[in-house]
Chains A and B, each alone.
Chain A
């Protein structure tokens, strides 16, 4: 950040000129993410023409990635305002357990199994928000701690086993498909549209970006910093919990082992997303493209028969690259 202010002493008027060496039009790096997606799809389609470019594979990828995409959105919202929410993956786990637990333990109706977990997620978000704003705990620490508590609760309730009894087929239908389109992808799409609109088109989105940029300035200009920050955590918790419900519907069971492995891909997607469409700025559409890039890449490699351990390895590398490109040394935006 500090570098952003070094050079402008004498840059009168220079600001309107594009920076030398930066591509324009179709060569602008903001489009590179899209090109990567196309390149990956074309490459694997050539390598595996029978299995890769098929409708089956597309719907499989869409329904597999819907939950991950929602989780990335959950990470995205507080990150815009400058806070990390590490609890989301464990909130997802807890929510899965709650959802299936409602059937297994209480034979509850389906709507209860949807609403209760989301409320639990919202509550954890509220606790996160209050811890960060009112109590003043660093968001990394606060959400790491609440996330651990959420996981603890999930393990305590299940005693480490998998919940899967009494799950009505109506609930599993929520994770099925409608006329060939996987429902989880539909939920994710709706969520994406809403968040995209809110972050790019509504005043509240501008306030959040401003808040993430300079919290003290936001306070001085009278933006309700505390309320907005708590709001982002509540939204984040709710989205993560909803993703958990969807995951439960897809699997038809509640497994406390599922959540943790989803956190890193969400990070990778959000940070890689910060290099797409708007350079150096976390944004919804860029994040979606990033999710697809990662999915297309991993899916393709799996079809080529690379070993299972390549996927986490690859996601780790992508995360490093993405962060290097958004905020690190190779950032085109911050180091003016």
Chain B
């Protein structure tokens, strides 16, 4: 790299292979002090792998890591921390059963305490300071992390990573791997604020996201990866979203065409459904119709889907599929009734991380290949391969362990699993979280294809633009009830939805 002299952290000529697959091939990257360096690329292009090389989690087959121009031969996570590199990995490394305080202090190695005793008071103060420094005041340091919402957890991870800003230790680089993937817009703003602050203090920032427009607004420099290779590394000025998307994908990205299917009979109907956060709610979705659900965190949108899918017990009301009543609180009964559900938290609720991609996709229903005594694996594999093609899951390796897939590809595979069931009702909670521009269009296509086959679709997303794009009709949820229905989303303004939902 030409500018190596001034860069705080640089990677040069990195190559990383996993069994039978080159994840990174001769990739170089240089981050200057105070620079916001965006790293973009489609799902599976190697971004997280690059981050893990930088963190000392993976050791590359070739290439080197330079810090202040000095080569660091054997980087380990502990060494990286010592050198002032801080990370928020894509699966933030948090401990759900421990308190927020401990989650934060573990990152600092209990610096406020001496070796033989944890000074609770000082650690608590440090945690509180770290949280309030990034503008989070609604999280008590003493609660269990597992009791927090997804976005609160993200903020804890951010607080842990940047706590040393007040602590005097020198930080060189902060890396955030899709920190905002599961955050609604106004929460994401807080993360952007932190990024700006950190960069203003002369710390280099590497920022990964699939949300291109805020990313372009933040970034000074953009590096684009495609299939593990570096395709561009340039200043962000003069780059617009479309041009960036094209660099990532290598071709022009088609926006999903709007749906043309004609809604048929009512397939899904809820009558006075209530439970958890949801007030009694009634709604109907016709076959072939895509109904969007817009709402803020806490509006009951995910609860609504969980109640229909039977993954949470109801307090009253009923769910009918094609006029037949579905027993409440039983996922198996819901599936038998033709309801497929893509939950919000993929890792905890949908994925079998140690099983293969094939098993993850077919696990929900094996009857197609099941003889009386055995599973016909050949037929199974062929069916899965067809689905991988249809949903463009990469790599097309049916036998790869699920946890080794990149985040976006895992999401596509879960949707493929549901599509395979040919459900009458499809429930999607944040279907495009962590998914790249092209995959997002592909997932939208797939949803529309399913709708065109007569499936009733109910989709929740924090991205109101997505909801408006995708849906034939939008329900706006607020404080556990349906506030209004937007009958014609094609002409509605995103700002208007924000207003109805209660943000702006």
Residue B148 interfacial (CB < 8 Å): yes
Q: Which of B80, B116, B147, B300 contacts A202 (CB 8 A)?
A: B116
The docked-state distance in angstroms from the alpha carbon of A336 to that of B149 is: 12
A interface bracket (residues with beta carbon within 8 Å of B): 35 or more
Q: Which of B78, B91, B300, B348 contacts A6 (CB 8 A)?
A: B348
B339-394 contacts to A, CB under 8 A, are 344-345, 348-349
B110-128 contacts to A, CB under 8 A, are 110, 113, 115-118
Q: Which of B106, B113, B115 contacts A223 (CB 8 A)?
A: B106
Among the stretches B94-102, B188-196, B238-246, B410-418, the one at the interface with A is B94-102
The docked-state distance in angstroms from the alpha carbon of A15 to that of B141 is: 11
Q: CB-CB < 8 A to B449: which residues of A?
A: none
A9-53 interface mask toward B, CB cutoff 8 Å, 1 = contact, 0 = none? 111111110000000000000000000000000000000000000
Residue A209 interfacial (CB < 8 Å): yes
B483 to chain A, nearest CB (A): 16
Asked if A12 and B138 sit within 8 Å, CB to CB, the answer is: yes
Asked if A214 and B93 sit within 8 Å, CB to CB, the answer is: yes
Which of chain B's residues has its CB closest to A221's CB?
B93
> How many residues of B are in contact with the other chain, CB < 8 A?
54
A262 to chain B, nearest CB (A): 29
A149-182 interface mask toward B, CB cutoff 8 Å, 1 = contact, 0 = none? 0000000000000000000000000000000000
Q: Which of A2, A13, A214 contacts B349 (CB 8 A)?
A: A2
Q: CB-CB < 8 A to A210: which residues of B?
A: 95, 98, 102, 106
B28 to chain A, nearest CB (A): 24
B139-168 contacts to A, CB under 8 A, are 139-140, 143-144, 146-150, 152
Asked if A9 and B106 sit within 8 Å, CB to CB, the answer is: no
The docked-state distance in angstroms from the alpha carbon of A201 to that of B76 is: 27
Q: CB-CB < 8 A to B348: which residues of A?
A: 2, 4-6
Asked if A15 and B143 sit within 8 Å, CB to CB, the answer is: yes
The docked-state distance in angstroms from the alpha carbon of A218 to that of B93 is: 7
The docked-state distance in angstroms from the alpha carbon of A209 to that of B117 is: 16
Q: CB-CB < 8 A to A220: which residues of B?
A: 55, 57, 77, 87, 89, 93
Residue B277 interfacial (CB < 8 Å): yes
The docked-state distance in angstroms from the alpha carbon of A281 to that of B91 is: 24
B459 to chain A, nearest CB (A): 15
CB-CB under 8 A for A221 and B77, given A5-B96, A206-B106, A213-B95: yes
Which of chain A's residues has its CB closest to B295's CB?
A10
B498 to chain A, nearest CB (A): 18
Asked if A222 and B77 sit within 8 Å, CB to CB, the answer is: yes
Q: Which of B116, B118, B138, B300 contacts A206 (CB 8 A)?
A: B118
Which of chain A's residues has its CB closest to B151's CB?
A12
Q: Which of A4, A216, A222, A223 contacts B146 (CB 8 A)?
A: A4
A181-220 interface mask toward B, CB cutoff 8 Å, 1 = contact, 0 = none? 0000000000000000100011101110110011011111
Asked if A10 and B97 sit within 8 Å, CB to CB, the answer is: no
Residue A328 interfacial (CB < 8 Å): no
A101 to chain B, nearest CB (A): 37
Asked if B97 and A221 sit within 8 Å, CB to CB, the answer is: no
The docked-state distance in angstroms from the alpha carbon of A329 to that of B28 is: 51
Which of chain B's residues has its CB closest to A14's CB?
B147
Asked if B97 and A201 sit within 8 Å, CB to CB, the answer is: no
Which of chain A's residues has its CB closest to B182's CB?
A9
Asked if A10 and B277 sit within 8 Å, CB to CB, the answer is: yes
Asked if A4 and B96 sit within 8 Å, CB to CB, the answer is: yes
Residue A109 interfacial (CB < 8 Å): no
Asked if B96 and A15 sit within 8 Å, CB to CB, the answer is: no
Seen from chain A, the residues whose Cβ lies within 8 Å of a Cβ on chain B are 1-2, 4-16, 197, 201-203, 205-207, 209-210, 213-214, 216-224, 280-281, 336
Seen from chain B, the residues whose Cβ lies within 8 Å of a Cβ on chain A are 55, 57, 76-78, 80-81, 87, 89, 91-98, 102, 105-107, 109-110, 113, 115-118, 138-140, 143-144, 146-150, 152, 276-277, 297-300, 302-303, 306, 311-312, 344-345, 348-349
In addition to A5-B345, A8-B149, A12-B152, 17 A-B residue pairs with Cβ atoms within 8 Å of each other are A5-B146, A7-B312, A8-B147, A9-B149, A9-B344, A10-B149, A12-B298, A15-B140, A15-B144, A16-B140, A197-B117, A202-B115, A205-B118, A209-B98, A220-B89, A222-B81, A336-B147
What are 10 A-B contacts defined by CB distance under 8 Å? A6-B306, A9-B149, A12-B138, A15-B148, A203-B109, A209-B98, A210-B102, A214-B96, A220-B57, A222-B77
